[in-house]
Amino acid sequence: QVQLVESGGGLVQAGGSLRISCARSGHTDSTYVMAWFRQAPGKEREFVAGLTWIDAYTYYSDSARGRFTISRDNAKNTLYLQMNNLKPEDTGVYYCNLYSWKRGRNYWGEGTQVTVSS
């Protein structure tokens, strides 16, 4: 039912910026949280930043705080992650996540690759 499609990944030099997007379909209420996770090769998927949809409250991992900004466009059903001052350790596949506490369901996109060169 819920579909998440990420876009905007690519190759960037350390210190550069990138914005990735997550287009959502199939969820009409506001009882959910959306978030970005990332996964480097051979490592576990880790939380990057999240947003409570009903009030756009945001929260960040320690590594993302101060450099990344998560935001939404409610009219477009789209979640964004603006990444500034990128570091090589930011490299990985970035996944969009939606958790609905009302439905008791968790959804994932297919991911978009972000590569930061030193």
Q: Tell me the per-residue pLDDT of 62-96, one tens digit each, with 9 for 90 and over.
A: 999 999 999 999 999 999 999 999 999 999 999 99
Edge-to-edge strands, sheet with 78-83 = 3-7, 18-25, 78-83, 68-73
Confidence band (pLDDT; 50, 70, 90) for 51? very high
Torsional class of 103: left (φ above 0), alpha (ψ -120 to 50), beta (otherwise): alpha
In the three-class reduction of DSSP (H, G, I as helix; E, B as strand; rest coil), residue 107 is classed as: strand
Q: What percent of the chain has pLDDT over 90?
A: 91
A 10 A CB-CB count for 49 gives 24
- Alpha-carbon dihedral 91, 92, 96, 100, rounded to 10 degrees: -110
Please report the pLDDT score of residue 114 as a whole number. Answer: 98
Write down the residue that tokens 């001052």 correspond to.
Answer: 85
pLDDT over 90 (residue 30): no
Mean pLDDT on 33-40: 98
Please report the pLDDT score of residue 1 as a whole number. Answer: 83
Sorted by sequence, the CB contacts under 8 Å of residue 75 that are 6+ apart come out as none
Please report the pLDDT score of residue 28 as a whole number. Answer: 67
